[in-house]
Structure formats: C-alpha cells, structure tokens
Amino acid sequence: MIDTQTNSSEQMSLLDVNGLCKTYPDFTLKDVNIQLPKGLIMGFMGRNGAGKSTTIQSIMDLIKPDAGEIKILGMTMTDDEVMVKNQIGYVADSPILNKDWTVQDTLTFTRKFYSNWDINFVDTYLNRFEIAANKKIKNLSKGMIIKFSLILAMAHKPKLLLLDEPTSGLDPIIREEVLDLLLDFLQDDERSILFSSHITTDIEKIADIVTFIHDGEILLSENKEQLLDRYRRIIIKANALDILNHPLLFNCKETIDGYIGYTDDFATFKEKAIGNWEAERLSLEELFVLKTKQTVE
C-alpha cells in the first residue's frame, strides 16, 4: 500500500513529478509521484537499485522517461531547458570531473554555463573547506571532491538541489560538514533539496520529508516527524496476549517474554489497547526496514 501523507500540501511545490515511468530489460520505474515544497529537504531512501538514480536522472533530463511529467517551479524542460537548468544544482553519485584540470580550471569552465555565478560564495567555501584553487582534481581526496562538487552545484544559486548519494563512503566528520552546507543552502526558505541516500542517519538529521522507494515504486512520502510519531514497536507481555487481536497491530512475532508487534497509528492504538504492553519509538532506519520487509512479504 502506498502512503503519501505530507504536512506540506498548502505550500507551493518547487518540484512536481507525476506518473514517472521508465522500463529497462531488468528494472521498471513505476508511476513515481513526488511533490517537494519550497524550503524543505526530502530524504529519498531506497536500497541500491531501487530507482533513486533513475528518478533523479529523469528529473535532470539525462534519461528520457517513457511516461510522466516533471515540473520545476511550474516549468518543464521542453518549456525552457536553459532557464530550468539554471534553477537546478546537481551532484551525481560519482561526480564526473576532468582529473587533469585544477580546481580553478573547473570553476572557470563551469561558470560559463550560468548567468548568476556567485564568486564570493565560491571563495568562502573553498577557504572553509581548505580546497586550494591550484590543486588538480586528481589530487583531491574523495571528501574534497564531494565538497567541491557541492560548491559547483550551488555557485549559481539554484532553487533546487538534486543530490544522488553525496555522503556515501565519507567519514562521519566530512558527512557532518556536507550536511551543514546543505542546511546553509536553505536559509532563505525559497530553495529545496532532494537528497538521495541509503545512510538513514544523515536523512534523519536533516530531512523534513522522507520518501521510500522500493523496486521502482514509491512506498510512502510523508512528513518525517509525523511518520515517526505514527509508528511504534509494541512489546506485549505474556499475560496480555489478547492484545494480539488488536486491528492496529501487525507483523507480530513471538519472543521469550511474549510478543513484539508494530502499529502505524499509535495515537489510536494507545487509546483503545488494554493489557500489559510497552511502546518503543522506531528510528528511521528501523522504519525503512519494516516497510521494505512488509512489501517483500
């Protein structure tokens, strides 16, 4: 079952993806719908091969979908590709940079494609991250390449930032620096970020909305805090087994002391459930695993 509740329906969507489909011999993206309002970060979660990159590359017009419509600030790529792409910053899962160029060479080349390049922004973050302008790309560490790629993606002041697994393989300190940079990007509430990752702790830290994708289908897209408030792990003591028949309890399994089950409507469950039970809040990672297993089963 697809759950698409959010707390942002009254806000203007910066990104609208409707009915996106793409078929390959061994994979199909099926009727993907995403709405991302202004000023928010969407954590786009899924296992490797779930469809995250295909969706993002379709938004960037790097892949031509078989069906569906994609709008950024109400415009499609066919309306005005140059204008739309000036509103997007993009970091691929493996940034493609000329390894023999210097940082400055890359900046000079990239700047030619944008009308709103912010030199002060670039200088500020090169200094903050201690990235030397005369250093060649091939001599930068993986963390430096990701941070530099983010600077390139943000320097033209885009409204939408598309990030495909930007923190994968980075150590915790560099990941924290990247997350801080993303939060800085949203200061004026007119920008949005679609942040694809399988590192659930990063998404739990900064996302406003979480969207789960599995096997090419959206499982849910919801306000993160509302989502985490709805779900609970219910620990049922051996002397309260009548509660196993509660209609809001699912996926129950026997333990040494009784049973463990789950509810996706804790507010209603706790009003009506009787007996000896306890509730535990789930982490985003636990919730993602639970929803994915439900789908597979």
What are the DSSP calls for 129-150, one per residue? TT--TTSBGGGS-HHHHHHHHH
pLDDT given at position 189: 82
Report residue 7 as tokens: 């707390």
Q: What CA–CA distance (Å, rounded) separates 210 from 53? A: 16
Q: What CA–CA distance (Å, rounded) separates 272 from 263? A: 13
Residue where the block lists tokens 């924290």: 176
Phi/psi of residue 47, nearest 5 degrees: -65, 165
Is a pLDDT exceeding 80 seen at residue 274? Answer: no
The residue-averaged pLDDT of 68-90 equals 93
Is a pLDDT exceeding 80 seen at residue 250? Answer: yes
pLDDT given at position 297: 60
CB atoms within 10 A of CB 226: 12
Q: What CA–CA distance (Å, rounded) separates 181 from 183? A: 5
pLDDT given at position 5: 43
CB atoms within 10 A of CB 99: 11
Phi/psi of residue 57, nearest 5 degrees: -65, -30
pLDDT given at position 95: 80
Percentage above 70 pLDDT, the chain:
96
Dihedral, 143, 99, 113, 89 alpha carbons, nearest 10: -20
Instruction: State the angle between helix axes of 142-154 and 119-128 in degrees (0 to 180), rounded to the nearest 10.
Output: 160
Q: What is the mean pLDDT of the chain?
A: 90
Sign, CA dihedral 89-91-96-102, equals positive
154 band by pLDDT with thresholds 50, 70 and 90:
very high
Tell me which amino acid residue 76 is. T
Helix/strand/coil for 104: helix
Q: What CA–CA distance (Å, rounded) separates 207 from 109? A: 32
Q: What CA–CA distance (Å, rounded) separates 273 from 269? A: 6
150 band by pLDDT with thresholds 50, 70 and 90:
very high
The residue-averaged pLDDT of 19-38 equals 96
1 band by pLDDT with thresholds 50, 70 and 90:
very low
Is a pLDDT exceeding 60 seen at residue 24? Answer: yes
Long-range contact pairs involving 228-231 (C-beta distance under 8 Å, separation at least 24):
228/281, 228/282, 228/284, 228/287, 229/266, 229/267, 230/264, 230/265, 230/266, 230/267, 231/262, 231/263, 231/264, 231/266, 231/281, 231/282, 231/287, 231/290
Report field, pTM of the whole predicted structure over 0.85: yes
What are the distances in angstroms from CA 46 to CA 203, 216, 255?
Answer: 12, 9, 29
Q: What CA–CA distance (Å, rounded) separates 278 from 167? A: 36
The residue-averaged pLDDT of 195-213 equals 92
Is a pLDDT exceeding 50 seen at residue 201? Answer: yes
Q: Which of these ranges, 66-75, 99-108, 160-169, has the smallest mean pLDDT?
A: 160-169
pLDDT given at position 2: 41
Is a pLDDT exceeding 50 seen at residue 3? Answer: no
By the 8 A CB rule, do 63 and 56 touch? no
